[in-house]
């Protein structure tokens, strides 16, 4: 069948009229399939939500138990049928629980990859390519200038800075879901086993990762109870970037501001945010990974959802793969 009849963009998000469901809808709907827990993809207020157990748990942590009326968990590789449409979830390698969603009917299979990456990440299941007719991809870093470095090289910079400036507290900005835990995991892999201090906004998600078997080591709240005046010299503190302009940040001695994001490749962005130590750590594909993934899956068609759509569409066409931008709105990833 024509792929457009199986799934097409609407103002509420990608809609499957045959199965009467939406993927990552940006408005409340009757039936939602959710790829992962970032707030631009996973919103509260749908009646029925189908997602991986971990994504459902993460939504519960973020929105409370009433985030939907009815939840249904699906394991990677399992298939459920919704009004004759076969739906299965497959690892996307983006954050804990993140999935690509394969949607199949009358011999046509579309894969919605959500957000994904191919680089090594020990905090979630790695991306698995799924053969399909239409591959729907994001393009957050879809320009040839984007090459993400080895993330362990980036955390090595942080540890080097601590050795160099033992009198300064090191504040690392990282988004609460996925990035914070990945940064901690990378720091641990670099051999750092001292306590790492957390802003309160990260505690529950870090606890959840640890419960799910992701070892993050000794994590402690970055509170000043029992301390006099500023402190945390020579320590690592992880917090959401928004907290750094708060009263919260004043408790740290001579803070050195670091920020972990794929956008830290862009010098101007680091400068604007007052970041002294940019750490280029991304949970999205860079340009070579986008090209490698499409070449590997070799779908008949590529649809590009959000980010820098035009360059990737052009590259697909030059590679002999039909491609088009979907111009979906409402996806500005919180976990870049
Ligand atoms: Zn995301």
pLDDT in tens, 225-243: 655 556 899 999 999 988 8
Q: Which two tokens stand for residue 17?
A: 């009229």
Q: Is residue 48's pLDDT more than 70?
A: yes
Fold assignment, 151-279: Rossmann fold (3.40.50)
Q: What is the pLDDT of residues 7-39, one digit of tens each?
A: 999 999 999 999 999 999 999 999 999 999 999
Distance separating alpha carbons of residues 249 and 234, to the nearest angstrom: 15
Separation of 287 CA from ligand 1 center, angstroms?
Answer: 17
Pick 215 or 327 by higher pLDDT.
Answer: 215
Fold assignment, 3-145+284-325: Metallo-beta-lactamase; Chain A (3.60.15)
Bridge partner list, 110? 103, 134
Q: What is the pLDDT of residues 109-138, one digit of tens each?
A: 999 999 999 999 999 999 999 999 999 999
Separation of 85 CA from ligand 1 center, angstroms?
Answer: 25
Separation of 218 CA from ligand 1 center, angstroms?
Answer: 26
Separation of 276 CA from ligand 1 center, angstroms?
Answer: 25
Q: What are phi and psi of 105, to 5 degrees?
A: -160, 135
Domain chopping of the chain, boundaries = 3-145+284-325, 151-279
Mean pLDDT of the chain: 94
Separation of 38 CA from ligand 1 center, angstroms?
Answer: 5
Separation of 115 CA from ligand 1 center, angstroms?
Answer: 5
pLDDT at 244: 84
Separation of 147 CA from ligand 1 center, angstroms?
Answer: 19
Distance separating alpha carbons of residues 156 and 85, to the nearest angstrom: 47
* Structural contact between residues 138 and 282, judged by C-beta atoms closer than 8 angstroms: no
Separation of 254 CA from ligand 1 center, angstroms?
Answer: 32
The stretches of 105-231 forming alpha helices (DSSP H) are 151-164, 179-189, 200-211
């Amino acid at each position: 069948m024509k792929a457009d009849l199986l799934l097409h963009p609407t103002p509420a998000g990608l809609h499957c009229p045959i199965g009467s469901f939406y993927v990552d809808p940006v408005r409340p709907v009757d039936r939602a399939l959710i790829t992962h827990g970032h707030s631009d993809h996973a919103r509260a207020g749908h009646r029925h939500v189908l997602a991986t157990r971990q994504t459902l748990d993460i939504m519960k942590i973020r929105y409370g138990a009433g985030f939907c009326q009815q939840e249904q968990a699906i394991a990677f590789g399992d298939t459920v049928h919704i009004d004759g449409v076969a739906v299965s979830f497959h690892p996307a390698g983006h954050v804990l629980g993140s999935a690509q969603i394969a949607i199949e009917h009358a011999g046509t299979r579309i894969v919605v990859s959500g957000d994904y990456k191919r680089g090594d990440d020990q905090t979630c299941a790695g991306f698995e390519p799924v053969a399909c007719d239409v591959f729907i991809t994001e393009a957050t870093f879809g320009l040839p200038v984007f090459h993400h470095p080895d993330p362990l090289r980036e955390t090595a910079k942080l540890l080097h800075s601590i050795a160099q400036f033992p009198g300064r507290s090191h504040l690392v900005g990282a988004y609460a879901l996925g990035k914070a835990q990945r940064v901690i995991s990378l720091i641990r892999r670099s051999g750092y086993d001292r306590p790492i201090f957390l802003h309160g906004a990260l505690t529950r998600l870090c606890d959840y990762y640890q419960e799910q078997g992701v070892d993050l080591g000794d994590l402690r709240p970055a509170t000043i109870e029992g301390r006099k005046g500023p402190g945390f010299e020579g320590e690592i503190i992880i917090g959401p970037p928004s907290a750094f302009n708060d009263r919260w940040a004043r408790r740290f001695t001579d803070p050195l501001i670091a920020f972990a994001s794929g956008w830290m490749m862009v010098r101007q962005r680091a400068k604007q945010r007052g970041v002294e130590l940019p750490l280029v750590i991304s949970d999205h594909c860079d340009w070579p990974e986008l090209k490698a993934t499409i070449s590997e899956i070799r779908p008949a068609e590529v649809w590009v959802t959000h980010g820098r759509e035009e360059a990737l569409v052009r590259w697909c066409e030059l590679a002999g793969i039909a491609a088009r931008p979907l111009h979906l709105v409402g996806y500005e990833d919180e976990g870049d």
